[in-house]
Structure 1
Amino acid sequence: MARRKKGLPISGWLVIDKPAGPTSTDVVNKVRWALDARKAGHAGTLDPAATGILAVALGEATKTVPYITDALKAYRFTVNWGAATNTDDAEGKVIETSEHRPDADAIRAALPAFEGDIEQVPPQFSAVKIDGERAYARARAGEEMELAARPLWVESLTLVDMPDRDTAVLELVCGKGGYVRSIARDLGRALGCLGHVATLRRVWSGPFEESDAMPFAEVDALAKDPALRDRLLPLEAGLTEIAECRCSAEAATRLRNGNPAQVIATDAEFGEDAWASHMGRAVAIGTYKAGMLHPRRVIVEESA
């Protein structure tokens, strides 16, 4: 018999405003400990130096993580012109400098080349795997690598502010797998001035916004306190990007047993991902076809 995991069967989302310093895994581990939760994960890594929205999924909500990971996300970041670093951010070693500085018109003129479907080379210090090893591990050992470009959808890239001639503040809205550090690096080279990220903040992630988030320090302050559970958002908050299909109690039972079932009242299109609900609660996630939901993930009702 499989050993039962320790912890409470808590399901839902806790949206954290991550400070600079801890890794995304550090945040997840602290949330899991503070809630004594059986299972936890996050929807989209933030670098240790980055701040902002980190959505932590608990229990059955971990089954909805792909829909947040794939959703659009927005980042506000500061670029320092005049220097390239080996990490493409302020944490790294300066490897090249330039005296040139772009004006606002030049920056705005360069931005459209970074919108739409683009190809982006990840930073040398990134979690990309090369022959089973993380790129950052090789980079720390002094190795320079030829990393393959990867496709990225950029919804928008906007100049927000220019505090001084050495600095620009931009906002990026992009899809899954984007590296803000690569945007800063490549934009700096396109402008002929070089550049790297000085500060980075994720301001929203899919359906989760700053107004949903709690400061990371409060997780410690409310650890093991029922008040922390009151801050959870429902599992269903992670499913707003796909269509909902309401279903009967009988259909809910079939779906939870992994069987296709008839659903009602949906705007899902044939072949689309959708989720089934009964009495407002998620039952299953799957593919909608001709009035039926074919489940791929079933949502188990949990109670602590």
Structure 2
Amino acid sequence: MAEALARFPAGLPGILRASNPVAQECFYGNPRYGGFRCPQPEVPCNASGAPLLALDSSNSSCFMHLPQPSRGALGVVHFLRNPWDIVVSAYWYHSQKKAPEGWLNGKWEDFFRLMGKTGVPLQRLADLGLGAVQQHAGQSYAEVLRALPDEQGVQLEFWRSAPAMYAMARQYGILQHHPDAQQVQFEQMMASFEATWRGILQRYYPQVLERVMKGVQECDPGSWDQEKVAVSAHVTSSKHPPEAKDRLLRVLATQPDIRRHLCELTPAVGYPNPEGLCESSTD
């Protein structure tokens, strides 16, 4: 898709493709009246400055920074996905034998510290046998993830992903008030890949729509043959049977803290929670 976007001629309006959360800045209270910028700026905090794994709080609020285009308006396309599916898909993607992205080879201890700074309760990592950082010194995040049984690995992937999913939810709420923002659900895009991108391009770049659509069509996994799907590191869910996904979703739902977060996040980005996963009787 990046190659297709690169084919746009110079001088067209700017477009921000927000797959990952754009820079956010969070404050506790009003800085003019004793409030302050949160120590970890992209994460809400409490009165003592400790990070909160939450959308916001009664005294904490976050803002999103958008780039200033050199000319014309800025169009924003924000891609969303069901948080329950994000976790399982990310676990399968990140635990592949060969790390599909370079950042996964970062040191485990750096990931551990970052999770603590962004509000992840480190006791939950200890519950997974990951409380002693030195035990995995020198290993990468991908190596630690792969070494865990999948029922523990999917929980680790939730905690690593949780701060970004909360940022996605805050971004979703903010962009609902942005007149030039389109918020696109991943499931909608995959079900109607060409139609979804045609709609986006028609809105922002109608003058080059057909030229760019040729590149878009090449990126549609639904048009790939089985051999191309099999060798693609980016296609993971379709390589696992539905019951494997259902089992991991149930694992997440049986962990009270994880379930609470996912059941809050999912409607916060416009999705219904999966049937049967948010009932308190699973405690």
TM-score, normalization by structure 2: 0.19
Q: Which has the higher helix share?
A: 2
Larger Rg: 1
